[in-house]
Amino acid sequence: MSLPLSGKVALVTGSSKGIGAAIARRLSTDGANVVVNYASSIQAAAEVVAEINSKDAGNAIAIHADLTSIIEGKRLVDETIKAFGGLDILVLNAAVMENRLLADITEELYDKHYNTNVKVPLFMVQHAAPFVKEGGRIIFCSSSLTMNTAVPPNSVLYVSTKGAIEQIIRVLAKDLGTRGVTVNAVAPGATDTELFRNGKSEQILQAHRERHPAKRLGQPDDIAPAVAFLASEQAQWVNGQTWFVNGDADITTRSASCIGEGKRLIDDSVKAFGQLDVLVLNAGIMEYAALSAIDEAAYDKHYDTNVKVPLFMTQHAAPLLKEGGRILFFSTSLAINTSVPPNYVLYVSTKGAVEQIVRVLSKDLGTRGITVNAIAPGPTDTDLFRNGKNDQLIQMFANGHPMKRLAVPDDIAPAVAFLASEQSRWINGQTWYINGGYNV
């Protein structure tokens, strides 16, 4: 049986320690040949390479490069291609984080952060793009601090560079998507690495643990599976997305428009299989109407089916779910689409409710190791999507997509399977937009 990344070549920057090392190990376990990049930790890099090469999977070499320099970044790409004959996966993990309040920031410190965290990764991608094969993967590393309302006041440089990264991937997803090259980011939360521990007392670290639903810090091995999934062929329809990887027997619902039916479905499932591990709340309705044409019956139909019943099904299922269980809602990429049609107000607003339900329930159920997430497909070739659209309109959607086609259901399913797996244990409270880069 071939491994999912057999024959692929991966370059992981800043991979001698911490999250980068975990990513390098995981990609090699999945079959990729990996370049372990280091700036100063030659011994640590050698240990990662030795560990990888001791196993019967991908091979690894270490290459030194100081990634405060564009020239060095380009050289690292060139040496990777020279060593392995190509490049399929580029993971841009190297970064600096030195916290200062506004009054203490110098131009030198600004340049250090923006050169290492933004400029060099961008120009490495520019240099690598012509060499990355069709179906290649470019994966940046951001930070959950970009969405954290409790962001520390002294992290302005670090967090703003990650904000730049999240916008870079949105645009590059359009630029490179026509070649089938996807561009995404993972955004870890508080993760137990040297970079995170630097300057923090044990009291502060314990406070981070206590605030987390799982009552612990993330580990580098919690982050690596998401990167490995994004690097795989299974992630072909994930493009232009930032995935927040911070911890915060199956049922897929078909149609339940009343709470009693939803609860009965759960009870029947448990009775049939003896347990419940994964609840996928996929059922939904979408009927178009302008504001002036909406009546109370249409409102109740949408909110009962898309919000109320899934919420009370989750309430009923939660005590039955085992530790490590998974709850997956369905949203829509229309929730972030700036060109959302004006007659979608009921459908899209119910999905906005779902995304906030996911955020809150991840805190409520996270203490039991149960994760709550959502999948948000874009235009997908289903009966629901085709309803009311002529062939000309369908073709317009396809032509407007970076990959020049609609999604098919099999493009969406792998992300659901990943979120249902143990590998996704540190992904919680997130909505993943599985739209191939359409209108990100």
3-state helix, strand, coil in the chain (%, to 5): 50, 15, 35
Half-sphere exposure of 154 (CA within 13 A, CB side): 7
* Distances, alpha carbon 394 to alpha carbons 89, 383, 399, in Å: 32, 12, 9
Of 16, 169, 11, give the one whose Cα is nearest residue 78: 11
| Complete edge-to-edge strand list for the sheet that includes strand 250-252 | 250-252, 276-281, 321-330, 371-377, 431-434
User: Residue type for 295, please?
Assistant: D
Q: What is the pLDDT of residue 119?
A: 92
Q: What is the pLDDT of residue 254?
A: 47
Kindly give the residue spans of alpha helices, DSSP state H, lying in 60-178: 70-84, 107-114, 120-128, 156-177
Q: What is the DSSP letter of 305?
A: I
CA–CA separation, 250 and 275 (whole Å): 9
CA–CA separation, 68 and 327 (whole Å): 42
Tokens 């591990």 -> residue: 277
- Residuewise pLDDT in 10s, the chain (440 residues): 689 999 999 999 999 999 999 999 999 999 999 999 999 989 999 999 999 999 989 999 999 999 999 999 999 999 999 999 999 999 999 999 988 888 888 889 988 998 899 999 999 999 999 999 889 999 999 998 887 766 777 888 888 889 889 988 888 988 888 888 999 999 998 888 887 778 788 888 888 788 777 788 888 899 999 999 999 999 998 998 898 888 864 445 544 557 778 888 888 888 888 889 999 999 888 887 877 788 888 888 888 888 888 888 998 999 999 888 999 999 887 766 666 676 777 888 888 888 888 888 888 888 888 999 999 888 888 887 787 788 888 898 888 888 888 888 889 889 999 999 999 998 998 999 888 877 65
Q: What is the pLDDT of residue 108?
A: 92
Q: What is the pLDDT of residue 251?
A: 45
Asked whether 350 and 303 are in contact (CB, 8 A), the reply is: yes
CA–CA separation, 437 and 182 (whole Å): 8
Residues labelled catalytic: 142-143, 158, 162
CA–CA separation, 36 and 44 (whole Å): 10
Angle separating helix axes 18-29 and 42-53, nearest 10 degrees = 20
Q: Domains in the chain, please, with CATH? A: 9-245 (3.40.50.720), 259-432 (3.40.50.720)
Tokens 């400029």 -> residue: 119
CA–CA separation, 286 and 263 (whole Å): 23
